Amino acid sequence: MSETFDKKALIVGGGVAGIQAALDIADGGYQVILVERTPSIGGHMVQLSEVFPTLDCPQCILTPKMVMCGQHPNIDIKAYCEVESVTGEVGNFTVRIRHKATYVDWDACTGCGQCEQKCPTKAPSEFNRELAFGPRKAIYSPFAQAVPNKRVIDADHCLKLTKDKCGICAKVCPTQAIRYDQKDWIEEIKVGAIIVATGYELYKKENLTEYASDPDVIDGLEFERILCPSGPTAGVIKRPSDGKEPLDVVFVQCAGSRDPDKHLPYCSRVCCMYCCKMAMLYKHAVPDGQAYIFYIDVRTDGKMYEEFYQRGVEEDRIVYLRGKVSKIFREGDKIIVFGMDTLTGKRVEVAADLVVLAMAMIPNPAGEKVKKILNLETDTFGFITEAHAKLHPVETGIDGVFVAGTAQAPKDIPETVAQAGGAASKVLSLFSGVEKGGKAALKEMAG
Amino acid sequence: MKIPYYPGCTLKTKAKDLEDSAIAAAKVLGVEMEELPQWNCCGTVYSLSTDDLIHQIGPIRNLIRAKEQGSDRLVTLCSMCYNTLKRANEFFLADEEKRDRINRYMDEEMDYAGDVTVVHLLEILRDEIGMDKVKAAVKKPLTGLKVSPYYGCMLLRPASIGIDDMERPTVMEDLLRALGAEVIDDPYKTECCGAYQTVNRKDVVVTCVHSILTSAQGNGAEVVALSCPLCDFNLDNRQKDIQQAYAGFHTMPVLYFTQLMAIAFDLDESVCRFELSSQDPRPLLKSKGLIA
Ligand SMILES: Cc1cc2nc3c(=O)[nH]c(=O)nc-3n(C[C@H](O)[C@H](O)[C@H](O)COP(=O)(O)OP(=O)(O)OC[C@H]3O[C@@H](n4cnc5c(N)ncnc54)[C@H](O)[C@@H]3O)c2cc1C
Ligand code: SF4
Ligand code: SF4
Sequence-ordered strand ranges (E) for A377-443:
401-403
Which residues of chain B are within 8 Å of residue A208 when distances are taken between CB atoms? 167
Minimal Cβ distance to A329: which of B159, B165, B187? B187
Instruction: Give the pLDDT confidence score for residue A447 in this predicted structure.
Output: 47
Is the CB of A111 inside a 6 Å radius of any atom of ligand 2? yes
Ligand 3 atom index nearest CA of A159: 7
The amino acid at A70: G
Distance from CA of B167 to the nearest CA of A (A): 5
DSSP state of A181: T
Is B218 near chain A, with CB under 8 Å?
A: yes
How far, in Å, is the centroid of ligand 1 from the Cα of A17? 8
CB contact under 8 A, B187 and A210: no
Read off φ and ψ for residue B158, nearest 5 degrees: -70, 165
What CATH class does A8-100+184-199+364-446 carry?
alpha beta
Q: Is B132 on the interface with A (CB under 8 A)?
A: no
d(CA A328, CA A337): 5
Nearest CA in chain A to B217: A331
Contact A327, A314 (CB under 8 A): no
Kindly write down the DSSP assignment for every residue of A99-161, as one continuous string: E---SB-TTT-----HHHHH---EE--TTTTT-TT--EESEE-SSTT-SS---EE-TTT-HHH
Instruction: Give the sheet arrangement for strand B223-226, strand by strand.
Output: B182-183, B146-149, B223-226, B254-256
Query: pTM for this one?
Result: 0.91
User: Which architecture characterizes domain A203-360 according to CATH?
Assistant: 3-Layer(bba) Sandwich (3.50)
Q: Is 0.85 exceeded by the ipTM?
A: no
**CB pair distance less than 8 Å for B165 and A212:** no
B194/B206 Cα distance (integer angstroms)? 8
Query: What pLDDT score does B167 carry?
Result: 87
CB atoms within 10 A of CB A252: 25
CB contact under 8 A, B215 and A209: no
Task: Answer yes or no: do A329 and B165 touch at CB < 8 A.
Answer: no
Nearest to B187 among A261, A262, A327 (CB): A327
Q: Is B168 on the interface with A (CB under 8 A)?
A: yes
Residues in CB range of A98: below 8 A, 6 or more apart: A81, A82, A83, A84, A184, A185, A186
Distance CA A221, CA A208 (A): 17
Domains of chain B: 2-121 (1.20.1050.140), 139-287 (3.40.50.11810)
Low-confidence ranges of chain B (pLDDT < 50): none
Q: Which residues pair with A395 in a beta bridge?
A: A402
Please give the pLDDT value at position A439. Answer: 61
Left, alpha or beta for A168 (phi > 0: left; psi -120 to 50: alpha)?
alpha
**Burial annotation A158-167 (CB, 10 A radius, 16+ → b, else e):** bbbbeeeebe
Q: What is the DSSP string of A257-282?
A: SS-TTTS--S--SSHHHHHHHHHHHH
| Test mutation, B157, B167, B204, B215, chain A, max A CBs within 10 A | B167
CATH 3.50.50.60 domain residues, chain A: 8-100+184-199+364-446, 203-360
- Fill in the amino acid letter for B215: S
- What are the pLDDT digits (tens) for B128-164? 999 999 999 999 999 999 999 999 999 999 999 999 9
Closest ligand to Cα A176:
2
3-state secondary structure B151-196: CCCCCCCCCCCCCCCCCCCCHHHHHHHHCCCEECCCHHHHCCCCCC
Give the CA count within 13 Å in the CB-facing half-sphere of B204.
10
Q: Which amino acid is at A321?
A: L
Distance from CA of B94 to the nearest CA of A (A): 18
What type of residue sits at position A214?
Answer: D
Cβ count within 10 A of residue B219: 16
* C-alpha dihedral sign at A76, A82, A84, A86: positive
- A120 preceded by cis ω (within 30°)? no
Pocket of ligand 2 contains residue A119 by CB under 6 Å: no
pLDDT tens readout for residues B186-202 = 999 999 999 999 999 99
- Inspect the interface and report whether the beta carbons of A331 and B218 lie closer than 8 Å: yes
Partners of B168 on chain A (C-beta within 8 Å) are 209-210
CB-CB contact of A319 with A289 (8 Å): no
Give the relative orientation of helices B171-178 and B257-264 as an angle to the nearest 10 degrees. 20
Q: Which of A210, A332, A336 sits opposite B167 (nearest CB)?
A: A210
Residue A222 to residue A47: CA distance in whole angstroms: 9
User: Is A373:A383 a contact under the CB 8 Å cutoff?
Assistant: no
Tens place of pLDDT for every residue, chain A, 447 residues? 456 899 999 999 999 999 999 999 999 999 999 999 999 999 999 999 999 999 999 989 999 999 999 999 999 999 999 999 999 999 999 999 999 999 999 999 999 999 999 999 999 999 999 999 989 999 999 999 999 999 999 999 999 999 999 999 999 999 999 999 999 999 999 999 999 999 999 999 999 988 989 999 999 999 999 999 999 999 999 999 999 999 999 999 999 999 998 999 999 999 999 999 999 999 999 999 999 999 999 999 999 999 999 999 999 999 999 999 999 999 999 999 999 999 999 999 999 999 999 999 999 999 999 999 999 999 999 999 999 999 999 999 999 999 999 999 999 999 999 999 999 999 999 999 998 876 666 665 554
* pLDDT score of A445: 55
